[in-house]
Amino acid sequence: MGQRRVRVSRPLSCGVRRGGGHLAAVVIVVPEDGSEVVAPDLAWLREQVLRGEPDFWCSGSGQAWLKHPEGPELLLAFEAGHGFYPEYIDRRGQYWIPRSAGGGGKVPVWVGGDPIIVCEGFFVTADLAWAAIEEFCATGERTSRVDWVRKSEAGWDYEYWEHPDVKLQ
């Protein structure tokens, strides 16, 4: 069976159809400058994930924040050479993080001006980060393409002061 093509006359945006046909929008807080973009254009968002510059992801707050109208949230931090560190917060407030084949080394990531140390096994590729965003925008859920684990069960200490690359004042 052939693939069906759909022609769209306007850019696709990240919105969710609710009962009665109302389109409730996902909101992204842009890490670079903290601006909120309601129903971001998916082509633009995909470009930022797959080909975006580290300055977009690592300046300002250092973390993108996607808010779904039904309650879930998706946080994304980036570190060059490691990829994306997504955190999914479900409707009950439980945090979920990826568990990948990466090693157990410590990677400093700056979020909100403060360093946290993240296990390199919690990072995903840009393709998997995009899959997480795409599923989140469509359903508010986690993608099945990522192996997610509850953050509380990850067995990782996020304290940053013991890392030799981080100097506290």
Q: How many helices (H) and strands (E) does the chain have?
A: 3, 11
For residues 113 and 34, what is the distance between their CA atoms, to the nearest angstrom? 13
Please tell me the chain's helix, strand, coil percentages from 3-state DSSP, rounded to the nearest 5. 20, 30, 45
Element (H, E) at 44: helix 42-51
For residues 33 and 28, what is the distance between their CA atoms, to the nearest angstrom? 12
For residues 7 and 120, what is the distance between their CA atoms, to the nearest angstrom? 40
In the chain, domain spans: 15-100+123-152
Cβ atoms of residues 29 and 63 within 8 Å: no
For residues 155 and 99, what is the distance between their CA atoms, to the nearest angstrom? 11
For residue 14, give the nearest of 142, 141, 138 by alpha carbon.
138
Is the pLDDT at 14 greater than 90, yes or no? no
Mean pLDDT of the chain, nearest integer: 80
Per-residue confidence band for 116, with pLDDT thresholds at 50, 70 and 90: confident
Q: Of 8-12, 52-56, 111-115, 133-137, give the range with the top mean pLDDT.
A: 133-137
Question: pTM score, two decimals?
Answer: 0.80
